[in-house]
């Protein structure tokens, strides 16, 4: 007897849930018909000239580094520690030692004085 009772209870729950879902869909459809939805504005057009894509701005030059790294490398070069400057720049450029040496050589040619003692 209890198995039959559980089967009727399950069928009743399915009927109640189905009826509630149907009623909810009808109410939402009725509400959407009343509310006028504004047309979304189109996204802004991208300029082709100086546009940077994505969420993070890309570096303009492959050898371009942040200002604090350049100043630190410039100070190391002025202090005569070019190998340390190459290691610092190499880690920031992704491990390319020839590019790092080229950047450090360019910094050494600028001839700016060291900011650190």
Nearest in space to 106 (alpha carbons), one of 49, 68, 64, 44: 64
> pLDDT tens digits, residue range 82-101?
889 889 888 887 777 888 88
pLDDT of residue 10: 94
> pLDDT tens digits, residue range 32-81?
767 666 777 877 776 655 555 555 555 556 567 777 888 888 888 888 88
Q: Which one has a higher pLDDT value, 110 or 62?
A: 110
Instruction: Give residue 114's pLDDT band: very low, low, confident or very high (50, 70, 90).
Output: low
State the CB neighbour count (10 A cutoff) for residue 102. 15
104, pLDDT greater than 80: yes
Q: Using the 8-state DSSP alphabet, how is residue 96 labeled?
A: -
Contact predicate 85/76, CB 8 Å: yes
Total-model pTM: 0.44
pLDDT of residue 55: 56
> Sign of the CA dihedral 97, 99, 101, 107?
negative
117, pLDDT greater than 50: no
> Sign of the CA dihedral 9, 11, 14, 19?
negative
Q: How confident is the model over 13-41, as a mean pLDDT? A: 84
């Amino acid at each position: 007897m209890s198995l039959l009772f559980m089967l009727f209870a399950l069928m009743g729950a399915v009927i109640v849930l189905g009826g509630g879902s149907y009623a909810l869909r009808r109410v939402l459809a009725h509400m959407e018909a009343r509310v006028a939805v504004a047309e979304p504005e189109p996204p802004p057009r991208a300029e082709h000239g100086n546009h940077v894509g994505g969420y993070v701005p890309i570096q303009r030059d492959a050898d371009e580094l942040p200002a604090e790294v350049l100043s630190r490398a410039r100070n190391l070069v002025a202090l005569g520690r070019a190998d340390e400057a190459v290691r610092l720049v190499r880690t920031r450029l992704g491990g390319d030692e020839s590019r790092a040496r080229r950047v450090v050589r360019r910094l050494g040619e600028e001839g700016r004085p060291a900011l650190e003692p």
